Amino acid sequence: MGKGGALSDRVVKKIILSYTYVAVWIFLSFTVIVYNKYILDKKLYNWPFPISLTMIHMAFCSSLAFVAVRIFKLVEPAALSRRVYLSSVVPIGALYSLSLWLSNSAYIYLSVSFIQMLKALMPVAVYTIGIMFKKDSYKNSTMFNMLAISVGVAIAAYGEAKYDSWGVFLQLGAVVFEATRLVMIQILLTSKGISLNPITSLYYVAPSCLAFLAIPWLFVEYPLLKQQISGFHFDFAIFGTNSLCAFALNLAVFLLVGKTSALTMNVAGVVKDWLLIAFSWSVIKDTVTPINLFGYGLAFLGVGYYNHLKLQALKAKEAQKKAQPEDEESGKLLEQREGDGMGKKGDSQA
């Protein structure tokens, strides 16, 4: 009875911790998205410089990661050679910088709710790019699922009251670059046995992002900022807390994926998207039409089914791993019995 009660307590504690990680990640992701929208939107804080905002985030994250790794030595740096850094980390940093730049730019033109609907295309992009790089195999059933998600997003876009083609182009570009980054992490890092936690990831990737973002910043935003510099007062409270939220979100991603799974994060992401749509409609007063909801509902079903298939595949893989040691053990017992039998047969012949 005591053992059963202790086991039950451990299970309950694990469930509570898992939901806590999910809640923290949803809260921080929600906060960063709404905060970025507030800063970049011309009708709110009115600071429409997405490259500059992303560079502030990367500089802040790079600094904190450097302090954590080099000064306080909270985590050990990964053993990366210069060749691996240039061939693996730098391309990932370039893709990440493009993804962040375009996604932040989209907030200037599109509503928070519509952006979340467009983000439902992420599984489609990851699967398609995975096939292109031969990390995934083509399946008619999966492709039909991807088509259903795409149709749902297309219907949601058709029903968007404040549709902006340039904003949609920016967000779709962000989805493509982010999906490519996720696939390249598997190809360039995971396949080589290199794993980076969020602090070491920021330590290596954030400076690379900062360097890549500096190139378009010099030509696109620096001339505009130079004109406004006399009348602009840098608000350390606004940009400091915004950057801190972005850094905390990276740590939350590590906790959520490390303590649960990437699949849990995908499911939690769907919940977060619905919360953001509700918040955008009720608080920010964005227009959400019935066609919007119908289209996103269809896409949501497709994403949900995709996550269900991934969960089933994960369970099958774990069951296969558990079965292998049992098969090996059975084989050893069989060999031992056969050996004993041969020994006895030899004794009788003698």
What is the full DSSP assignment across 332-343? Answer: HHHHHHHHHHHH
N residues, the chain:
350
Question: Is residue 208 domain-resident?
Answer: yes
Q: Are residues 55 and 214 in contact, defined by beta-carbon separation less than 8 angstroms?
A: yes
- Identify which of 203, 172, 201, 170 has the alpha carbon closest to the alpha carbon of residue 51: 170
Question: Is residue 266 domain-resident?
Answer: no
pLDDT at position 124 is 92
Question: Is residue 350 domain-resident?
Answer: no
The residue assigned the tokens 């202790």 is 6
Residues 6+ apart with CB under 8 A from 305: 145
Per-10-residue mean pLDDT, the chain, length 350: 57 81 91 95 90 95 93 87 90 94 95 94 92 89 91 94 94 95 86 81 92 95 81 82 93 76 77 90 89 93 86 80 64 59 48
pLDDT at position 291 is 94
**253: its two tokens:** 């991603």
pLDDT at position 74 is 86
The C-alpha torsion from 163 through 167 and 168 to 173, rounded to 10°, is 180
Question: Is residue 40 domain-resident?
Answer: yes
| Structural domain of 87 | 21-136+163-228+242-259
The C-alpha torsion from 301 through 252 and 92 to 62, rounded to 10°, is 150
Radius of gyration from C-alpha coordinates of the chain: 25
If one counts the domains in the chain, the total is 1
**105: its two tokens:** 């730019």
Question: Is residue 335 domain-resident?
Answer: no
Burial class (CB in 10 A: 0-12, 13-18, 19+), 281: middle
Distance CA 284, CA 277 (A): 10
Please tell me what DSSP assigns to residue 119: G
Question: Is residue 38 domain-resident?
Answer: yes
Handedness of CA 270, 276, 280, 286 (dihedral sign): negative
Distance CA 223, CA 216 (A): 11
pLDDT at position 266 is 78
Residue 180 to residues 127, 261, 321, Cα–Cα distance (Å):
10, 20, 29
pLDDT at position 16 is 84
Question: Is residue 344 domain-resident?
Answer: no
pLDDT at position 322 is 74
- Identify which of 99, 103, 105, 98 has the alpha carbon closest to the alpha carbon of residue 47: 105
Question: Is residue 283 domain-resident?
Answer: no
Residue 131 to residues 87, 128, 140, 187, 242, Cα–Cα distance (Å):
22, 5, 13, 13, 37
pLDDT at position 1 is 47
**310: its two tokens:** 């991934």
Please tell me what DSSP assigns to residue 177: H
Burial class (CB in 10 A: 0-12, 13-18, 19+), 68: middle
331 CB neighbour count, 10 Å cutoff: 10
Burial class (CB in 10 A: 0-12, 13-18, 19+), 75: middle
> pTM here?
0.83
